[in-house]
Amino acid sequence: MKYDFTSIIDRHGKDAIAVDGLRKEGEPGFSPQAPKEGFDAIPMWVADMNFATVPTIPEAIIARTKHPAYGYFHPSDAYFRSIIQWHENRNGVTGLLPEHIGYENGVLGGIVSALNVLCSKGDHVLLHSPTYIGFTSSLENNGYHIVHSPLKLDEKGVWRMDFADMERKIAEHRIHAAVFCSPHNPTGRVWERWELEQATELFRKHDVFVISDEIWSDIILNGNRHIPLQSVSEDARNRTAAIYAPSKTFNLAGLIGSYHIIYNKALRDRIEKESSLSHYNTMNVLSMHALIGAYQPEGYEWVDELREVLSGNINYACQFIEEHFPGVHTAKPEGTYMLFLDCSEWCAAHGCTIEEVMQAGWDVGVAWQDGRAFHGPCHIRVNLALPFSRVKEAFDRLARYVFHA
């Protein structure tokens, strides 16, 4: 490979919550507990990657910092051109113009701004479950009531939308806004066109506007293909606000910077007005240059190699679980780099709780994440965006110390 996905990067002391945010025994918090003596921590919880990003990003940032003035600025033509070309080349998007693109400090902030336009406080909003924890906290903190439509595993172990349940709940709760996750976090589903068509037809029928979180859209595994929700139909194009970012793709979360794509001018005007009211939703000049550096030809190559590496990690982990962890189940992700382990059968067979399973992993340095916050009743979320040697070490420890007979 041209790029390095095998070196183990020491992130300690570099402000990374993935390693420096682990809790000491007895400390409160949602992060995993630091390991016992004799084990190093393998960060497998918060959704960032343990790979060095594509070199064109630090090169672009450093080049801009060499100019000694950092005053007020406008997004450059190169910023918009980079986004448009990325979506054309990666997802076949046509007709995207600079006026359709708007800055957001983050996906969650963009979602809240859109909901503030589309809803009144106390309104019900449709989401699928399992549910990304950030959606839950952001919507609840802003006074919206979440109505969950649970995804269901089909006979092949694939997570599917329950369209009858979605329609029933939309009608019952008079829902006119939905937050859609594509690819889906935490299950890793990459939706097929027929699924998107059926969902968007429901939204059209009941006049439901959609905020589509597509931040994972570049991280597609094993030859699957992402289809932007706005591309499914003209109606979907006009009733959807889609939100993207290079941060998940290129490991830039600490630099802050997302963007929306909204084709409907009236909707775009209202959301941009709402986003501007706090005066905090403003781009950082280095974040802009990071995006331009990411969406260079080298970035395309880097992402292609990343997909290959992550596909290998996912394939290894799923096969290892099937062969060595009886009673632990996971649907193989088609996108993202997260596993969502269902430990219900294991816990029942061994008379233990999910808390005990998680703690056993934490004790030996497997810093995985409590899946109950994602509405998985006996689940653990596992990040596989690490060098393969660390993935293998983590699963060897789980086999020896956690899921042993």
Q: How far is residue 276's CA from residue 175's CA, in Å, rounded to a whole number?
A: 26
Contacts of 156 (CB under 8 A, 6+ apart): none
Please write the tens of the pLDDT for every residue from 140-162.
999 999 999 999 999 999 999 99
Q: Tell me the average pLDDT of the chain.
A: 97
Q: How far is residue 284's CA from residue 286's CA, in Å, rounded to a whole number?
A: 5
Residues 63, 78: contact at Cβ < 8 Å? no
According to the model, what pLDDT value does residue 6 have?
Answer: 98
Q: How far is residue 335's CA from residue 338's CA, in Å, rounded to a whole number?
A: 8
Q: How far is residue 208's CA from residue 202's CA, in Å, rounded to a whole number?
A: 8
According to the model, what pLDDT value does residue 279 have?
Answer: 87
State the pTM of this model. 0.96
Helix (H) or strand (E) holding 247: helix 247-250
DSSP string, 137-191: HHHHHTTPEEEEEE-EE-TTS-EE--HHHHHHHHHHTT--EEEEESS-TTT----
Q: Which of 78, 120, 117, 141 is nearest to 272 (CA)?
A: 117
According to the model, what pLDDT value does residue 405 have?
Answer: 62
List the Cα angle 143/175/141 in 5-degree steps.
Answer: 15
Rg (alpha carbons) of the chain, rounded to whole number:
21
pLDDT under 70 in the chain at which residues?
A: 405
Q: How far is residue 153's CA from residue 170's CA, in Å, rounded to a whole number?
A: 21
According to the model, what pLDDT value does residue 30 have?
Answer: 78
According to the model, what pLDDT value does residue 373 have?
Answer: 96
According to the model, what pLDDT value does residue 207 have?
Answer: 98
Q: How far is CA 253 from CA 9, 22, 48, 247, in A?
A: 17, 18, 8, 5
Q: How far is residue 231's CA from residue 237's CA, in Å, rounded to a whole number?
A: 6
